[in-house]
Structure 1
Amino acid sequence: MVGSYRCGKSNREVYPHIRGERAENQTTLKTADRDSNLDLPAIGSLVYRKSSAATEADTGTDNVQKQSEVRIPDQWAHGHRRQSRTVCSTHTPAVSLTHAGGHARTPSEKHRTLGDRVVIQRPHDVPLPYLLYRGCLIFPLSQLVHPAYVGTGAKAPISPFLILLGSEVGIYIFREEKNDGQTKTHEERKKGMVMPWSVFWQVLLLLCCLSLDSLGSGVEHATDNHTVVTGLEDDGTCKCKEISVGKMSCQATCMAPPSTNNTNISVLEIRSSTLVGLRVGTLSAWTSLKAIIIEDNYHLVEIEPGTFRGMNLVTNLSISSNINLSYLSEGVFEGLDSLVTLQLKKNNFSAFQSFVAALSPKYLPWLRKLILNENPLQRVEVEDLAALNGSLLEDLHLVSCQLEYVHPESLNTLTHLRALYLGLNTLNVSLLAGLIGELTTSGIPLRILNLYSVGLQSSIPENLLNAIADSDITHLSLARNQFQSLRPGSFPIMPHLLHLDLREIVAINFPQGILNGTVAPNLTTLLFGGNRLPGIVPGILLPHLESLDLSSNSGDSRDRSYFDLGEGMFVNMTSLSYLNLSYNYVRTISRKTFKGLTNLDKALSLKNATIVHIEPYSFSELENLQFLNLEDNLFPSFINLTSSLFEGLMNLKVLLLGGCGIPSLSKDPNVFSPLARLEYLGLERNLLVTLSPQLFSPLLNLLGVDLSTNLIVPWKDEEERVFKNVSTSLQVFMQDNKLTYISPAMIEDFLDVELIKLSGNPFTCDCRYFYRTKLWLGVSNLSLTSLRTTQSSLKCYSPDKWREKPLLEYLDKLDLEETICRFVINPDSDSIFAWIITPVVILMIFVLMFLILGYKYRSYIRYWIFLANVNMRRHGFKARRKNQEGYSNYQYDAFVSYSNEDRNFVVRLVAMLENYEPFLKLCVYERDFEVGSVISESILQSVAMSRRIVLIVSDAFVRSQWCMWELQLAGNKKMFLEGGEKWRLSLRGREDPLVLVRLGQVADTHMTPFLKYLLKTRVYLEWDHEPKRQRQFWDRLRTTLSPPSISISPGPTN
């Protein structure tokens, strides 16, 4: 019998179990003599309703109602998303079918699902396989005893099939079966709801037709564990993959954890899945886990008690960022006997009563750390944590929980509490003082108190500090509050205080006496970064300090002030072992700057401190220092890195020099010789082109060197080998350089190190570059596979036919007998004729191309001739005068080429460069062009009178014809300088007039070949909306455009 179904998709219908309600929509299947009413609360994403009012009215009132109810367990009653592809799963869920309405039910005991067996509560238990087609369930029922024979002892099996296709069509089939060799009569068929064979095959044929039409090319099979799905994607499967050693991640369409487990997996992550609930048994195969992460699951609303039963190895559990999870029942964490850390961050718990019963020490006997950050808890009442009585909890995190009230006695049940984090809550000062006082009175061993950004203003509250001083608190954080004015007496005597965090409190001073040896005699760590100190002030130099953080005290790039380190300021800081001065405007380091810091051994950080000058022997007193960070200081080119700079750092193990603009280390090949114990050297993001063979030889303990993102080119000869005498445990990182090929000398170097990273280099897969390498590999019986590197990262960059293809594949296919290779690389006497003919043909081709291009671009050629004449008239036919100096002949420091659409940015650029040191003078057409003059002539004159040309490259720029013309002018000026320059600048050499500033994304379709060439071959500045990067942007641009004090001397003449 064929019936029609309509589908509803409201949340109440699809997830009726969420609110504990039962779906009212029912599907009526009409037969000749009776009605069968199937209540299907949630099947896939479909809820089946009555077909029509006519169907309902057609039900005979005198017939006996026989109801069969199909219940789908909650873990399978999920909202499947519809897919355009069809997937079939043979997994068998726990489905029970009960019969009622005038007939006896004989099951005498409760049955449970074991494996793929589903128990149907009828007089005879039968297995019920299960299929999933496009979110619809298919139950082929076999050997099912018909209700008419219940209690009679007769065996009259029938085979009903409930077929649900796509989203609209449902077919319910009862096939005729033979019983003891006899076929039922027509009357028996009528009573027994059986179907004649002929009708059955007709319906089956219809089913096949519908299947071919609606299900597409086929059905893919999914294994029971659902961890591997072949072919098509399945809503009911769980795609998992091992993202790191021992860590498995299940995401996207995952609706339940896999039912099988690789015992090598110790961490299971279920993130961003369609998981609605976790049920008992869903994690039963994962008892070997040590950590579980269940995060960012929007649909997760319920975790059934006993879900984690048997998982006694788990020590870390995170159930976070599940914004619809608002309740945890008691017993949810049963079985987690070894759990130490529990994260419940950023869920939807609005009160402690909604989850605290689940945290009872009866279930979590070893819980030490509880993180409840970013839950809208608002209040902590006196009895809210009573369920934790007897718990071993030590760390409680309530950061950003919108707390307005905390009862002073609410934490008394946590008798082992050592750390309390209340940051980012707005709490009354008196309430906090009362809470701390009550904890002290109750003997709670609180040691760490974090009051980060709790709204304290003006001055430090006396009653709160007194309560803290009377307690045993050793670590106190008052960061991100506002205490602009500090004065002696602000802090009471705090004998237990060891660690004080006062970062970003908007302080502008630190007078002497605030934290002297009487007030905080045991204070060892002071964090004072992010304030506005003018420099090293005496009040902050406490002799007993071991760690001092003064980073980011110069303000941001818009209002940056000089940070004075002074000389000899640290002379009494003999206990200091850690000093952070990063992100300050330091500029100069002298020999006496760090005088007295003989015990500074842990770290000295000067990252992005705008250092332009370091005197030799400035670090000579830091003989115990192990970590030195000088990253992101754009050293001027006149700073010569020599061995005297690092003299005294005999115990240094880590040196970071990344992003310092270092062009060369060849002036002193032994620059790192004083660093005999150095283990890691960071030289990434510099301008290095070549490396000296002696550079790393003194570093016998070197384990890692980062040379990525430089301009390093290949080295060819045995004498140029860079890593010849280094440790065999060295790891080298050379990604994103200018290595166009790998020479035999390089291979010998790379064979001597433990690891080499070469990805991102523009390897040119051409026999001119790799002929000798291939020849040498063959003679040496070696291959690139001998290198300890990721072979897949070695890819060709050019030519186009080999682009992005493996370098190893090219070398395998490289034919050493190829004609071009023999002619160009390895000529012999038999190829003389080819050597004559080939150049002639190539020359003719070039001449022909030159003539064609000359004719096509004849207007450009006339324009270039015009520019040449202009320059000749300006400078005459003779070379420049010998008394010419620097840049005195230029009227502007830079001509700014930009589009009107970028005017706002240019206005800001002019203000930043002309109003601050070194007070540059820019030429912009809106201000500096003479009214009434010819635009083209004004542009020509302005470019000629400008030392540099700044191109503001944006999408609007490349679409502007005027901007493109100015770009050509800039290129012509560059070519003129490169071709006609006969003078050497004694400081920097010949200066490139072009400065490129990229403003946003630029469509490739609009860019000219010349602009593409510039962007690929020039280091350009890119505007970023992040404030810290903007500060770096303006500093780099000023440094680039600043005219250095130089002298000019004539170069050698012939």
Structure 2
Amino acid sequence: MELNLSGIPPDVPNTTESLDLSFNPLKILTSNYFSMVPALMFLDLTRCHIWKIEDDAFMGLCNLSVLILTANPLHILGPRAFHDLRSLQKLVVVETHISRLDRLPIGHLTTLQELNLSNNHVDSLRLPEYFSQLIVLQLLSFRANKISSIFVGDLDALPSQNITLVLSKNDIKYIELNSFSGVYLQELSLRGCFGSSALMQASLQNLTGLHVNHLILGDYRNIERLETFDKALLDGLCHVWLQEITLIQIAGLYNTDRLSDCLYNIPTVRLVSIDIKEVSQLPKNSSVRHLEFKKCNLRGVPAENLSSLKNLRVLRITKNPRNLIRFAEDFKDLQNLETLDLSENSLIVNICWSSLMEEVPNLKHLNLSFNSKVVLPPECSGVSKLEYLDLQQTRLGYTGALPSFLCLRNLIYLDISYSSIHIVTECSFCGLDNLRILKMAGSSFEGNQLADNFKNLTKLQILDISSCQLKHIAPNALAQLHDLHELNISHNKLLSLDPKIYVHLHALTTLDLHSNQLATLTAQALEILPISLKYLDLSWNLFDCSCDHLSFLRWTMNHQDLLQHADFMICHSPLDLKDARLVSFDLSSCQVSKTTVAVSVITLLVLVLFAILVYKYYFHLYYMVVLLSRDRHSTEKENIYDAFVIYSSEDQEWVTQELKETLEDGVPRFRLCLYYRDFVPGVSIITNIIKQGFQSSRKVIAVVSTHFLESRWCNFELEVAQSWQLLDSKASLVLIVLEGVDKAVVRQKLGLFRYLRRNTYLVSAKMSDIQELRREFISQN
């Protein structure tokens, strides 16, 4: 629309079903104008400056059901202008300058259901003969035309008894008697048609013989043409067969005693936007079964005066938010009243179930929604027949802290949404054993968690607990609701969803969890979703789209037919994926190749093996590093000891008394490195062994005993001594094998036979042997 087009753009697909070309200067619709879009079902040509429609302009549009030609100056219409519109159901020719119906070539549109001719220049209601062919026509609107008179025969071509005829905003000055005689209408609207009360009274008198289900009379806001209203104004309706009448925007009607008695013979009476302040005593023999006061100025519910309407079944007093504030149960034995609608007022009501059951014993529907305050006391006796109770957007007193529905065992529908209820007791819904639908959005629960509050609602089918600030739902909170079909938990603060919540809900078809704080659904939660589920809404949650939740991400991809509003399932974390759509997530980013896995595993194994070897051979490695990095040009001054003694602490006495005394106390005096005496305090053992022992000594003396062979440290020191001897050609090793040591074990464990020829080897060393060792030290010096 509004693209300054003079024709249909060539890039419009031929499969297009809905096309809006409004506000484009098309001007003339030529033959086969829409041949390139044969699949159209809806076409809007509002204000396209169309003044001419040629024959066959809509050729090929066999599926078109709605055609809108509003505000086009249709001066020329070809006799086949609307040809081939075989499925047209709605034709809107509002404000098109049409003045004569016989020039509108639509007689062949046998599927037409609505014809809107509002705001044109039609000045006669005489219908052309072709109207008799429009056998399914349901709405015929002449609103705001120039019809001033209606004569006998004008409506003879009406094809159906189910038509709604709209004549509102025509300045009707005359209706000929019997013009509507024998005419059957679904609805007749005469709103704003009469310039004075006298014209209205005379015209209504001549509606004799009309059969209409619903008649609408009155004016429009700010256009009040009826200067007076008296009891006789509507007397003409006594000769009209009516099921329902709506009086709207009528000035001067302040009290119901001004209403004609004819109205009380009509089953349904609706008074809308009328300044009625009082309701007088109504006739006892009234036939009124449905009475409605909407947007009137009543100050209170006239319960006592309405009690005379013994046939009354439905009473609605609605949309008086500034005035209607009082309601007392003063009905007097309205045995037939089934529906009481007092919604959208400012009522402050203390309901007494016992009194209400006594006054209106057959009441089934009670609507007190959108009022100021309703108090439902817990005291109750008997069982009410009430089936429908609407209290939404009305502050409730005591409900939630005390059981308030004990009398309502027949209740099927209960709406207490946004009624400031705080559920404390587990018996809040006791008595509602037959409840099917419970709506309590905007309520709150003790501790923001749902417990066993619904345990007795075993027949519940629909439950709405949205916007209840719930942070937790106990696993068994809904366990008894086996018949539940719809569950709405949206707009809460749930961080996770325990699958046990719905494990017993085998009949569940709709689950709404949108606008919570869920990061994911676990594999278990997805696995036990009810097989009956058809609609699942998870939109607007705080989803974590990391690869840790790959199973959930893959599940969303495969179940888009189940998910509602999937486009609004948005990633909240990690930051690089924030605001991305889950259904567009690249699953391959979470998949690692087999090669990468193999390399990673091998690398890890190598690192683990290396760590084990380093841990096991730490001392050896450390010693090798020290030896390889030592200064090979070190001088003899570095050897401050003649020998470093390796021995077990169990042989301390022998080393001290035999070896030390012989070598250090004799002449010349030799200096030995003994760990208990010469190791530097505060330095690690391995560092002392290597630097203080091996690197500072010319020889190494190993005192081999049974304890020596069993000591890990002694074995390590001996291995270091052997490697030290290999790296340093001047180094020598003296082995002293004490008495009692098995030589075979020595050779097996230490491989000493490899060193017997190169090293000094003393077996069962005695004092003479130690002296011999002393002489060897002297000779080498």
Q: TM-score, normalised by structure 1?
A: 0.47
> Secondary structure of the equivalent of 2:482?
coil
Amino acid at match of 2:271: L
Amino acid at match of 2:360: M
> Is residue 664–residue 690 contact of structure 1 (8 Å, CA) maintained in 2?
no
> Is residue 300–residue 324 contact of structure 2 (8 Å, CA) maintained in 1?
no
Q: What is the CA deviation profile of residues 478-498 of structure 1, one whole-angstrom value per residue up to 9, with x for unaligned ones?
A: 244356643557452656421
> Is residue 582–residue 607 contact of structure 1 (8 Å, CA) maintained in 2?
yes
Asked if residue 656 in structure 1 is aligned to residue 439 in structure 2, the reply is yes
Determine the C-alpha separation between the residues in 2 that align with 1:342 and 1:412: 20
Q: What is the CA deviation profile of residues 814-867 of structure 1, one whole-angstrom value per residue up to 9, with x for unaligned ones?
A: 43769xxx9xxxxx998999xxxxxxxxxxxxxxxxxxxxxxxxxxxxxxxxxx
> Is residue 504–residue 528 contact of structure 1 (8 Å, CA) maintained in 2?
yes
> Is residue 572–residue 596 contact of structure 1 (8 Å, CA) maintained in 2?
no
- The partner residue of 1:333 within 66, 83, 106 is 106
Amino acid at match of 1:657: M
- The partner residue of 2:274 within 478, 502, 505 is 505
Q: What is the CA deviation profile of residues 310-346 of structure 1, one whole-angstrom value per residue up to 9, with x for unaligned ones?
A: 54554x323055566666553521211243432334x
CA apart distance, 1:720: 5.0
> Where does residue 550 of structure 2 map in the other structure?
774
- The partner residue of 2:423 within 640, 647, 654 is 640
Q: What is the CA deviation profile of residues 659-714 of structure 1, one whole-angstrom value per residue up to 9, with x for unaligned ones?
A: x2435686662323343333322333443333333333333232223333333333
Closer, same or farther: CA 554–618 of 1 in aligned 2, 3 Å: farther
> Is residue 598–residue 624 contact of structure 1 (8 Å, CA) maintained in 2?
yes
> Where does residue 707 of structure 1 map in the other structure?
489
CA apart distance, 1:591: 4.5
Determine the C-alpha separation between the residues in 2 that align with 1:239 and 1:435: 53
Q: What is the CA deviation profile of residues 371-408 of structure 1, one whole-angstrom value per residue up to 9, with x for unaligned ones?
A: 333x3x25431349726545435434436525353525
> Is residue 704–residue 730 contact of structure 1 (8 Å, CA) maintained in 2?
yes
CA apart distance, 1:555: 1.6
CA apart distance, 1:452: 4.7
> Is residue 206–residue 236 contact of structure 2 (8 Å, CA) maintained in 1?
no
Amino acid at match of 1:723: Y
CA apart distance, 1:807: 1.3
> Where does residue 117 of structure 2 map in the other structure?
344
- The partner residue of 1:735 within 514, 521, 530 is 514
Amino acid at match of 1:350: H
Amino acid at match of 1:710: N
> Is residue 369–residue 393 contact of structure 1 (8 Å, CA) maintained in 2?
no
> Where does residue 320 of structure 2 map in the other structure?
553
Amino acid at match of 1:693: P
Q: TM-score, normalised by structure 2?
A: 0.62
CA apart distance, 1:643: 5.4
> Where does residue 486 of structure 1 map in the other structure?
255
CA apart distance, 1:462: 1.0
> Is residue 535–residue 565 contact of structure 1 (8 Å, CA) maintained in 2?
no
CA apart distance, 1:413: 7.0
CA apart distance, 1:812: 0.6
Which ranges in structure 1 are unaligned for 5 or more consecutive residues? 1-78, 84-134, 137-225, 231-236, 243-247, 823-827, 834-1054
> Where does residue 898 of structure 1 map in the other structure?
none
> Is residue 230–residue 258 contact of structure 2 (8 Å, CA) maintained in 1?
no
CA apart distance, 1:356: 5.8
> Where does residue 444 of structure 1 map in the other structure?
210
Determine the C-alpha separation between the residues in 2 that align with 1:80 and 1:457: 43
Matched positions, count: 566
> Secondary structure of the equivalent of 1:462?
coil
- The partner residue of 1:392 within 134, 155, 160 is 160
> Secondary structure of the equivalent of 2:199?
helix
> Where does residue 569 of structure 2 map in the other structure?
794
Amino acid at match of 2:35: S
> Is residue 178–residue 206 contact of structure 2 (8 Å, CA) maintained in 1?
no
Determine the C-alpha separation between the residues in 2 that align with 1:539 and 1:487: 11
Determine the C-alpha separation between the residues in 1 that align with 2:447 and 2:483: 20
Amino acid at match of 1:468: L
> Is residue 131–residue 158 contact of structure 2 (8 Å, CA) maintained in 1?
yes
Determine the C-alpha separation between the residues in 2 that align with 1:732 and 1:330: 56
Instruction: Give the stretch that moved more between structures: 359-368 or 428-437.
Output: 359-368
> Secondary structure of the equivalent of 2:180?
coil
Q: How does 1:372-391 map to 2 (within 5 A)?
A: 372-373=142-143, 375=144, 377-383=145-151, 386=154, 388-389=156-157, 391=159
> Secondary structure of the equivalent of 1:419?
strand
Q: How does 1:500-539 map to 2 (within 5 A)?
A: 500-511=269-280, 513-514=281-282, 516-518=283-285, 520-528=286-294, 531-535=297-301, 537-539=303-305
Q: What is the CA deviation profile of residues 265-293 of structure 1, one whole-angstrom value per residue up to 9, with x for unaligned ones?
A: 7x43425473725443233323355x324
Determine the C-alpha separation between the residues in 2 that align with 1:668 and 1:81: 56
**Sequence identity (%):** 15
Determine the C-alpha separation between the residues in 1 that align with 2:447 and 2:296: 35
Q: What is the CA deviation profile of residues 777-797 of structure 1, one whole-angstrom value per residue up to 9, with x for unaligned ones?
A: 88xxx5642361154332324
> Secondary structure of the equivalent of 1:649?
coil
Closer, same or farther: CA 650–483 of 1 in aligned 2, 3 Å: farther
Amino acid at match of 2:577: W
> Where does residue 673 of structure 1 map in the other structure?
455
Closer, same or farther: CA 317–469 of 1 in aligned 2, 3 Å: same
> Where does residue 96 of structure 1 map in the other structure?
none
> Where does residue 258 of structure 1 map in the other structure?
34
Closer, same or farther: CA 596–433 of 1 in aligned 2, 3 Å: farther
Determine the C-alpha separation between the residues in 1 that align with 2:544 and 2:228: 65
Q: How does 1:503-652 map to 2 (within 5 A)?
A: 503-511=272-280, 513-514=281-282, 516-518=283-285, 520-528=286-294, 531-535=297-301, 537-541=303-307, 542-555=309-322, 562-567=347-352, 568-569=355-356, 571-591=358-378, 598-601=384-387, 603-614=388-399, 616-635=402-421, 639-640=422-423, 644-652=427-435
Closer, same or farther: CA 729–610 of 1 in aligned 2, 3 Å: closer
Determine the C-alpha separation between the residues in 2 that align with 1:533 and 1:573: 22
Closer, same or farther: CA 692–350 of 1 in aligned 2, 3 Å: farther
CA apart distance, 1:300: 6.4
Determine the C-alpha separation between the residues in 2 that align with 1:339 and 1:295: 15
> Is residue 484–residue 505 contact of structure 1 (8 Å, CA) maintained in 2?
yes
Q: How does 1:20-169 map to 2 (within 5 A)?
A: none
CA apart distance, 1:560: 8.3
CA apart distance, 1:731: 1.0
> Where does residue 755 of structure 1 map in the other structure?
535
- The partner residue of 2:472 within 681, 687, 690 is 690
Asked if residue 433 in structure 1 is aligned to residue 215 in structure 2, the reply is no
CA apart distance, 1:450: 1.2
Q: What is the CA deviation profile of residues 907-954 of structure 1, one whole-angstrom value per residue up to 9, with x for unaligned ones?
A: xxxxxxxxxxxxxxxxxxxxxxxxxxxxxxxxxxxxxxxxxxxxxxxx
- The partner residue of 1:309 within 66, 83, 94 is 83
> Is residue 437–residue 460 contact of structure 2 (8 Å, CA) maintained in 1?
yes
Larger Rg: 2
> Where does residue 180 of structure 2 map in the other structure?
412
Closer, same or farther: CA 304–711 of 1 in aligned 2, 3 Å: farther
> Is residue 487–residue 512 contact of structure 2 (8 Å, CA) maintained in 1?
yes
CA apart distance, 1:500: 1.3
The RMSD of aligned alpha carbons is: 4.4
> Secondary structure of the equivalent of 2:66?
strand
> Secondary structure of the equivalent of 2:91?
strand
Determine the C-alpha separation between the residues in 2 that align with 1:296 and 1:662: 51
Asked if residue 361 in structure 1 is aligned to residue 141 in structure 2, the reply is no
Closer, same or farther: CA 80–708 of 1 in aligned 2, 3 Å: closer
> Is residue 599–residue 624 contact of structure 1 (8 Å, CA) maintained in 2?
yes
> Secondary structure of the equivalent of 1:611?
strand
> Is residue 370–residue 397 contact of structure 1 (8 Å, CA) maintained in 2?
yes
Amino acid at match of 2:140: L
Closer, same or farther: CA 775–490 of 1 in aligned 2, 3 Å: closer
> Is residue 269–residue 288 contact of structure 2 (8 Å, CA) maintained in 1?
no
Determine the C-alpha separation between the residues in 1 that align with 2:176 and 2:499: 72
Asked if residue 281 in structure 1 is aligned to residue 56 in structure 2, the reply is yes
Determine the C-alpha separation between the residues in 1 that align with 2:302 and 2:405: 18
> Secondary structure of the equivalent of 2:315?
strand
